Structure 1
Amino acid sequence: MANEKNSSYPTKLSKNVLQMKFMQRSVLRIEKEQNEEENNRAIDDEHWVMDVPPLPKKQSRYDIQPSYVVCENLCYGRMSFKGFNPDVEKLMAIHNTQMELDAAEEREKETHVSEDEMAERYKSLVGIIAKKFKKKRKQKEAVDEEAGPSPEKKGRQFQKPSDD
């Protein structure tokens, strides 16, 4: 039973052993640990805490970026030229083709004309182009026909003088 009590408590060295010259460093270390514990306890006891709600964060007018890549409009971080780093050049080629495909799709969307729009344009253009290639006489006849019904055209005929 005596061993059980001693095993649960750390063993303490006697004063005479601690005063020996080779034990001085251990004594200093033990004293330092005790002083730190006392100081921490004293600081914790004296420490005041204010119960103030946290201040809301303001929106910043500035956009802070960790890298200058965004500022310089760089496509990718690492670059390689003339076969210096083939792996990076392969990645650059893949990225460039993807960017070109995306740009081509955007251009296609902007210039795309639906079938209905194309039919309407063709319908109006057929008449305009047909008029363009008509001869002048036929153009005049077409204009007269569009103007509406007109009296029959008569060629020059002899007119009788009136008897009056």
Structure 2
Amino acid sequence: MANDSMKLSKNLLRMKFMQRGLNEETKKQLEEDEKRIISDEHWYLDLPELKAKESLIIEEKSFVPCEDLKYGRISFKGFNPEVEKLMVLMNPKDKEEKEEEDISQMQTDITDEEMALRYESLVESMKKKFQKKRQRAAEEAPEESSTKRVFLKPQA
């Protein structure tokens, strides 16, 4: 490095074997150049600051309010008698309502005559469904089967 008139490139000066022979001023200048390059190449996003949105999520420790359950635990047909006793104590109206629903379902809306007519039409339609094609044709047009068709010769 006796000849200062000849300047070496920065890339060559950054190499490890060249670092040993450099003086203090040149080392400082290279470090400053590297810092400037890094700061120039650093990316910034020009986005507005995100505002915190209100949370619409409600945390529940139990799924009972989500499912609109009346009791936390339910038992049927004597599986857990203690729970069933609590169910009766908490809502005595439930059994009465269920009995009324059962009675209303048991009542008939259709008279016996109407049911017989509907059943008759159902039987007829099922009978037609399972008949052969020839049997169906015979039932539909019994008059035509008595008259025999004859080939008519066209007149010339």
- TM-score bucket (shorter structure): 0.3 to 0.5
> TM-score, normalised to structure 1's length?
0.34
For CA contacts below 8 A with separation 6 or more, give which structure has more relative contact order.
2
More helix by share: 1
